[in-house]
Structure formats: C-alpha cells, structure tokens
Amino acid sequence: MPSDEPIPPEDAFELVGNDIRASIIQTLQEGFKNGERKMSYSSLKSRVGVRDSGRFNYHLQQLVGYFVEKDQAAYRLSYAGRKAASAIAGGTYNETVELESRSVNGACLNCGDDALELTYNDVEFDISCTNCETSIVHMPFPPGAIASHRDGDLEAAFDRWARSWNMLSSTGVCPECGGRMEMGFAEEQGDPAIGNVDVRCTLNCTQCWMSGYLPVGCLLLEHPLVVSFYWNRGYDIRSSFIWEFEWALSKEYQEVHRPEKDLIKISVPLDDDELQITVDESFEVVNTDKR
Ligand SMILES: [Zn+2]
Ligand SMILES: [Zn+2]
C-alpha cells in the first residue's frame, strides 16, 4: 500500500475489522503506553501470538502505511493507528456494557422534581426525569469509559466529557475530528432534545458526521466570562454537574432576538447577582451586563 496516498475510509474500517490486525494495533498500543514506542518484528509477532509467519506478516503489511509505520526494523503506531487504538480501547466498535440505572442529584427543569435518573443504553448516557419522563441531558459515552469509571465518580467523568465536548464545539472546533464547525441558531430540536429552549445553537462539522443542537447556555458554561463570574464569588463552576445548571438548559433564562438580529441573551443568576451575556450566531459575545 503506498503510504503517501490516503486510503478510502471503507478500506480503513476493513483494516481494523480483523482479529489479528486489531490485536497488532492493541499490542503496539500497550507498548506505546509503557514507553516502548516501537517494537521489533519478532517481539510483536510473539506478543500477538500468531505462530504462522506468513499469516502474521500478511496482516502486519496490510496495516503498514496507514495504522502502522515501519521504522528501520521496528514497527510503531501512526497517529491514525493511535486513534484506532483509542476507539478499540473505548469499546466503540465492539463492546456492550450494562449499567444499572441509578438516581442522581439535581432537579428536573421541566417539573421541578428531584427525580433524576441516570441510564445507559446503546452507547447513550442519559439523565432523565422519572416523574415527567423528560430527558435533561444525553450524549454518546464510550462503553470503555463506563467500564473504566463505573467504580469511581461516573457522573463526574461524564460531566467533564460532555462539557469539554461543548467547549470545543462552542469555539468552532469539532470535538470528534478537529475540523471546522459551522454554527447557527435554529428552532430544530434534536430527538430527544437537550434542555427545554425554543431556539438552539446548531453545530455542524464541515469535515465529519458530527452535528448537534444545544441550548446556548450549555455552550456558555465553560466561557471565561461565566467561569470567572462563578470564581470571583467563591464558586468553582466544575463542582456542579451540567444538568444542575437550570440557566444553561431552560428557556426561562434565554431571550431570543431573531430573526431580525440573530442574537440570544442568556441570564446567569448567582447569589444576588446576575450576569447577562448576548451572543450572535457565530457565538461571538456581543454584549455583557451585570446586575
Ligand atoms: Zn420532570
Ligand atoms: Zn468533525
């Protein structure tokens, strides 16, 4: 395979869809993690555990030039190989994980009940109200991440994952592929919707499949204006979970000025103060006010 030409995406998937090739990638990843950035042919072969040299070599050579790079007599993962290794380790391609539903802190923004429940089905992490059956926050979370965090603070891990995803999106960078995101406002809801606002920010990657509809408040959570507003009043904004910020998810705190101006104003209440932030469709802050 010529290494200077990109291979078609469907061929790339075929490459990792074979046990021996997936095992080669995982073995190189283990080495990479332990500081062994490249591996000799014989070491790699014995660790993968394939006796038949012809068969092993055939599969290894299939990966060279894309997921694996050959460096003199040794082999190492390319960047694409490390991404594939993360997807394999995250269980994105092959794993299913069971998680018993459990109640979580926070009140429902729809009915106000303290009846929030965490469930995990089909790679989707979901916080819903069991009283009015409204989904408050949901997004894909890799099965491997559930397995890795289930005995620790799973809610906190998901919260960080979702918020860093939102933070990247809000700055126009695709959290999946790093490509450029196009942003706008729309009355589209997503299914099921996140938050109960009428107008959402639309996010579409110009390069990959990534798209989403999120309340503007959700995307403002990690903005320096909001983070410092909390910090200066003695609060670390990370000490609450994303589904606990009613102002970020609810239309009560969102004022829409469109279509004539395409601006959305969000009110962020904290103790006796209120911060108001107005953003335009490209998510530039056009006005701030404190009360
Ligand atoms: Zn409810
Ligand atoms: Zn993308």
pLDDT digit string (tens) for 67-80?
999 988 899 998 88
Is 65 domain-assigned?
A: yes
pLDDT, residue 215, reads 93
Reading the block at residue 193, the tokens are 């919707």
Is 64 domain-assigned?
A: yes
Is 48 domain-assigned?
A: yes
Percent of the chain topping pLDDT 90 = 59
Is 20 domain-assigned?
A: yes
pLDDT, residue 2, reads 43
pLDDT, residue 192, reads 75
What average pLDDT score do residues 153-180 get? 93
The CA-atom distances, in angstroms, between 270 and each of 30, 232, 242 are 46, 11, 15
Distance 181 CA to ligand 2 centre (A): 7
DSSP 25: H
What average pLDDT score do residues 254-260 get? 81
Is 34 domain-assigned?
A: yes
**Nearest ligand, CA 113:** 1
pLDDT, residue 86, reads 80
What average pLDDT score do residues 41-69 get? 92
Distance 70 CA to ligand 1 centre (A): 56
Is 19 domain-assigned?
A: yes
Is 213 domain-assigned?
A: no
Distance 80 CA to ligand 2 centre (A): 15
Total domains in the fold of the chain: 1
Q: Residue 202 and residue 217: Cα distance in Å, rounded? A: 13
**Nearest ligand, CA 128:** 1
Distance 110 CA to ligand 2 centre (A): 32
Q: pTM of this prediction? A: 0.79
**pLDDT over 50 at 1, yes or no:** no
pLDDT, residue 9, reads 60
What sign does the CA torsion over 251, 257, 262, 265 have?
A: negative
What average pLDDT score do residues 190-200 get? 83
pLDDT, residue 10, reads 63
Q: Residue 61 sits in a domain of what CATH number? A: 1.10.10
Distance 195 CA to ligand 1 centre (A): 12
Quickly list DSSP for 108-152: -TTT--S-EEEEEETTEEEEEETTT--EEEEEE--HHHHHHHTTS
Instruction: For the chain, give the mean pLDDT.
Output: 88
**pLDDT over 90 at 260, yes or no:** no
Which domain covers residue 32, as residue numbers? 9-89
pLDDT, residue 8, reads 63
